Structure 1
Amino acid sequence: MAFPPAVTASAGSTDPAAPLVVLLHGRGADEQSILALAHHLPDHFRYVAVRAPIAEGGGYAWFANRGIGRPLPGSLRATMDWFRAWLDSSDQPVTLIGFSGGAAFAGGLLLDDPARWAGAAILYGTLPFDAGVPTTPGRLAGVPVFLAHGTHDTVIPPELQARTWSYLHESSSAELTARRDPVGHGLAEPAVTALHDWLVANSSQVS
C-alpha cells in the first residue's frame, strides 16, 4: 500500500545535533494536536510531530485495527516500514513519545527493533500485542521506557492496560519508569512533569 509523504511539525531546538524526539499523536488526531506537548518538555530537545499516514474521519490513524488498541498485523507492518523509510535517512538516536493510538505505534516500533531507539514513552495506551511484533521475555533489555496510565481511562480496554503494565514490569527487562494517575484518557500534569524529568535523565545517559 502506498502512503503519502510524511507531514511533520517541529518545536524546540533548531540545532540539528540536538537530541531528537518524535511525537506520535492519537487516533483521529493530527501532528498539531500532540506538538503542544513539546512546550512542556525540555527546550534543548528537537521535537518532530509526525502525521499518521491513514486518513480517518477528520484526522489520521497509524494502523487499521480490529478493535481499540488491537492493530491488524499487516497494517502495522506497512505503516512501520513507511515510518522507518522516512526516519532512517539519519542514524541519529531517537526517542519516541506516543499518545493513545500513537502509543501503540511507538510500542510496535520499539518491539520491532529495540536497538534503534534511545527510549520510548507509552502514554495512555497499550503495546500492540498479537500484532506481528515480538513480545518475548527480555525483548526490551536495557531500553529506557516511560509508561503512564490513567486509572479512570475508559478508552483503552482495561485488559490491554493491565497486559502492558505487566509485560513492561515483569517480562520486558526494560529500564522502566511507570506511573498511574487518577485521570481518564488524557495527560495528567504530574505525568507530564515526570516525562520531562525522564527525558532529561535519559538524554544524559545517551550522551
Structure 2
Amino acid sequence: MTSSDTAPVAIISRNDDSRLGTPLLVFLHGYGSNEQDLMGLSRYLPEEFTYLSARAPLQAGPGFCWFPLTQEIDYSSEAVSHSVVALWQLLEPLSKQHSSITLLGFSQGMAMATSLARYQREAITAVVGLSGFAVEPRDLEIFDDEKLQQNPIPLFWGRDLADPVITQDKIAFTLGWVSKHAELTSETYPQIGHSVSMDELEDVDAFLKKVVLGQE
C-alpha cells in the first residue's frame, strides 16, 4: 500500500475489514534497511494488534533511511522534518480506522518514532524504541515538546549499554529528553550490541499489553 509519491511505502499484516477498530502498531526500521526487516517481530507481540511496517523514503545503499547520516550519525533538521511529515501523511488516514496507534522504531526508527510523537502527541498512544535515540530539536518547528511535558508519552526504551553504533552524545541527549517528556520503561540487555533479543521482545510484549491493551 502507498499513500502518495512523498509518503513511505508500507506493508500491513491484514488489509481487510478485520483490522478496523484494532490497535495499530507501526514498525519503523533502521538506517539502510527496509519495510520487511521488522515485520517478523509481530509473531512475538500481541495478536490483538494490526501491524504495519513502513519503508523510509530515502535511498541508503541497498536499503532506505529516514534521514541522511554522517559517520557521526549527525543529521539535518530539515530532513527529519520532511520524513516525519511524510510519515504522518501515511498514518493519518489509518488513525481514523484503528483504536490507537503505537510506534516501534529500531535505531534510526526510534528517532522517527519519538519525533512523530513530538509532532502528533494526541494521535500516538505509546512508543517502543529499540537500540535508538531521540533527535535534538535544532529549531524544528514541528516538534511540540511542551505538549509532551504536559502529557508525557509512554515509552519503552531497550538497549545494550555497550551499543557500538549509537554515539554517547545521542544517548546523553535522549536520557535528558525522556526524563521530561516520557513515562519511561527502560531496560538494558547486555551482549545484544546493536540488535534485538528475545528477552527484549518479551518485555515489549508485556509493555504493549499493559499500556495499550490495558491488560495486567
Asked if Structure 1 and Structure 2 have the same fold, meaning a TM-score greater than 0.5 normalized by the shorter chain, the answer is yes
**Structure 2 Cα separation of the partners of residues 179 and 82 of structure 1:** 30
1:101 matched to 2:108? The reply is: yes
Q: Displacement, 1:141? A: 2.6
1:129 matched to 2:136? The reply is: yes
CA contact (8 A) 1:114 1:140 kept: no
* Root-mean-square deviation (Å): 2.4
Residues 81 and 5 of structure 1: is their aligned pair in 2 closer, same or farther, counting only changes over 3 Å? Answer: closer
1:158 to 148, 152, 168: 168
Matches within 5 A, 1:133-144: 133-135=143-145, 139=149, 141-144=151-154
**Aligned residue number for residue 184 of structure 1:** 193
**Structure 2 Cα separation of the partners of residues 29 and 112 of structure 1:** 24
**Helix, strand or coil at the partner of 2:37:** helix
**Structure 1 Cα separation of the partners of residues 136 and 172 of structure 2:** 12
**Structure 2 Cα separation of the partners of residues 197 and 69 of structure 1:** 31
**Aligned residue number for residue 9 of structure 2:** 7
Q: Which runs of 5+ in 2 are unaligned?
A: none
Q: Displacement, 1:130? A: 3.5
**Aligned residue number for residue 62 of structure 1:** 66
1:84 to 74, 88, 98: 88
Residues 137 and 166 of structure 1: is their aligned pair in 2 closer, same or farther, counting only changes over 3 Å? Answer: farther
What is the aligned-residue identity percentage? 24
Q: Displacement, 1:163? A: 2.4
Q: What TM-score do you get using the length of structure 2 for normalisation?
A: 0.84
**Structure 1 Cα separation of the partners of residues 136 and 147 of structure 2:** 13
Task: Render the CA deviation track for 1:143-183: whole Å, top value 9, x for unaligned.
Answer: 21111111220100022123212321x322x2211111102
**Number of residue equivalences:** 203
CA contact (8 A) 2:152 2:180 kept: no
Pick which of 151-160 and 4-13 moved more. Answer: 4-13
**Aligned residue number for residue 47 of structure 2:** 43
1:72 matched to 2:76? The reply is: yes
Q: What TM-score do you get using the length of structure 1 for normalisation?
A: 0.88
**Aligned residue number for residue 199 of structure 1:** 208
State the AA in 1 paired with 2:194.
Answer: H
CA contact (8 A) 2:157 2:186 kept: yes
Residues 140 and 34 of structure 1: is their aligned pair in 2 closer, same or farther, counting only changes over 3 Å? Answer: farther
**Helix, strand or coil at the partner of 2:213:** helix
Q: Displacement, 1:8? A: 1.5
Q: Displacement, 1:56? A: 1.1
**Structure 2 Cα separation of the partners of residues 54 and 18 of structure 1:** 30
1:146 matched to 2:156? The reply is: yes
CA contact (8 A) 2:12 2:50 kept: yes
**Structure 2 Cα separation of the partners of residues 129 and 69 of structure 1:** 12
